[in-house]
Structure 1
Amino acid sequence: MLTGCIGSHVPKEITLFDSATVVRSTDYKILGKGKGQDSAFYLLGMFPVTKAPNVELAMSQILEKYPNGKTLINIKVQREDKAYFPLGLVTVVNVTADVVGQPEDTEKPGLKGTK
């Protein structure tokens, strides 16, 4: 019951992008959907304690999960503020996107065990 009084979150901006880079071909496969996140804390809602949330960092978190991923498409960036009265404010950037690239090749028998 007290958690409703102490903290709340307010979704702010939602931004949509077609792709992270220019996609010149339609010859790609969607490898999966991913999520990334970054946040920052502001003491009393005004004084930054950590770096500002970074959209690029959240996007790179998505690509890290797919080693064969080349770029992101259908990108949705959402920023929300979570107030923790009277301590401060946490600003969160959430990114969801489809990862595209080449599907993983099966291991070739001639290359097994070589470095």
Structure 2
Amino acid sequence: MDKERLEDIKENSLFGIGHRTMTKENFNWIVSTVEEQQKEIEMYKNLVAKGTERRVEDNKEWFGAQSVLVEENARLRKALEFYADGNNYEFETIVSDCDIEVESKILEDTGEKARQALKE
């Protein structure tokens, strides 16, 4: 309907010297149509702005979560490196008059580094 009316205005508007004439009804229709389109454009701009804001918030959340995971990974890696280090399994045997004692970093730790890393 709107396309037909616009075509009608194009074809049936009267041309004078340096200006066009049209009925007041057609003029008002054009003005109201343009005003409606401007409102729609504003609405779409607002939707795009809100969508952009949401994407920024989503990215902040994602980077925040990623930061937490990077820190957790570093903490767990440090604990794993302790248990992966073969030097920590070396032990020393201390023999006294009535006792034999074995010392090693792994035996002294008894898994505490792993428990701490998993706890944090």
TM-score by length of 1: 0.21
User: RCO (CA 8 Å, sep 6+): is it higher in 1 or 2?
Assistant: 1
Larger radius of gyration: 2
Which is strand-richer, 1 or 2? Answer: 1
Which is helix-richer, 1 or 2? Answer: 2
TM-score by length of 2: 0.21
